[in-house]
């Protein structure tokens, strides 16, 4: 009987330590966020999409400012995220880039090893997501990045 109790305890501990249980996600982050800018007749659209299962996708796509047609991607990234206490942690599974700073078709992007960044975040009442990188000492980091919530008209 003692062995049955021991086996039951081991099974209970093994099944109750799922990493999915530890996943913390701020539901207000879920959805698509965009940032755009124009440079040399190219509209650059940064997209980040947070899903309810803890995964995310991010990319920067370029569009011809005159015709509106896509000229390719600068990067695409996918992974998982967690958020708690205004901190966002990204676990990048795949980071693909053009490698030379130009926009290329997605099929021509190259896999690159990268770190797993963390940010503080703020959600504003006007639908903005402000991400500020958390930097290590002596690390060169960019300033805050401001995204707008993307509204879709799914009917």
**Is residue 48 in some structural domain?**
yes
**Is residue 13 in some structural domain?**
no
**Is residue 38 in some structural domain?**
yes
**Is residue 139 in some structural domain?**
no
Instruction: Say what the pLDDT of residue 45 is.
Output: 97
- Are 41 and 66 a contacting pair, CB within 8 Å? yes
**Is residue 41 in some structural domain?**
yes
**Is residue 137 in some structural domain?**
no
Asked if pLDDT for residue 148 goes beyond 50, the answer is: yes
- How far out from the chain centre does Cα 108 lie? 21
What does the pLDDT look like over 26-69, one tens digit per residue?
Answer: 888 999 999 999 999 999 999 999 999 999 999 999 999 999 99
- What are the start-end ranges of the H helices in 30-147? none
**The tokens 């124009």 sit on which residue?**
38
Domain containing 53 equals 24-116
Confidence bin at 24 (pLDDT 50/70/90): confident
**Is residue 101 in some structural domain?**
yes
Within 10 Å of residue 58's Cβ, how many Cβ atoms? 19
Dihedrals phi, psi of 114, to nearest 5 degrees = -150, 165
Which range, of 50-54, 82-86, 121-125, 149-153, averages the lowest pLDDT? Answer: 149-153
What does the pLDDT look like over 95-118, one tens digit per residue?
Answer: 999 999 999 999 999 999 988 999
Asked if pLDDT for residue 7 goes beyond 70, the answer is: no
Instruction: Say what the pLDDT of residue 23 is.
Output: 57
Tell me the pLDDT of the chain averaged across its residues: 85
**Is residue 39 in some structural domain?**
yes
Question: How many domains is the chain partitioned into structurally?
Answer: 1
- What are the start-end ranges of the H helices in 18-95? 19-22
Bridge partners (DSSP) of residue 89 are 82, 118
Confidence bin at 153 (pLDDT 50/70/90): low
């Amino acid at each position: 009987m003692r062995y049955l109790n021991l086996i039951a305890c081991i099974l209970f501990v093994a099944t109750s330590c799922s990493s999915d249980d530890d996943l913390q996600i701020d539901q207000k982050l879920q959805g698509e966020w965009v940032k755009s800018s124009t440079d040399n007749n190219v509209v650059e659209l940064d997209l980040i999409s947070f899903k309810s299962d803890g995964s995310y996708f991010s990319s920067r796509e370029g569009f011809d400012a005159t015709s509106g047609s896509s000229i390719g991607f600068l990067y695409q990234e996918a992974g998982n995220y967690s958020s708690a206490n205004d901190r966002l942690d990204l676990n990048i599974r795949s980071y693909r880039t053009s490698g030379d700073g130009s926009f290329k078709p997605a099929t021509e992007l190259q896999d690159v090893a990268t770190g797993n960044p963390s940010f503080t975040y703020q959600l504003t009442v006007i639908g903005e997501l402000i991400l500020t990188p958390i930097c290590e000492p002596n690390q060169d980091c960019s300033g805050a990045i401001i995204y707008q919530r993307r509204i879709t008209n799914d009917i």
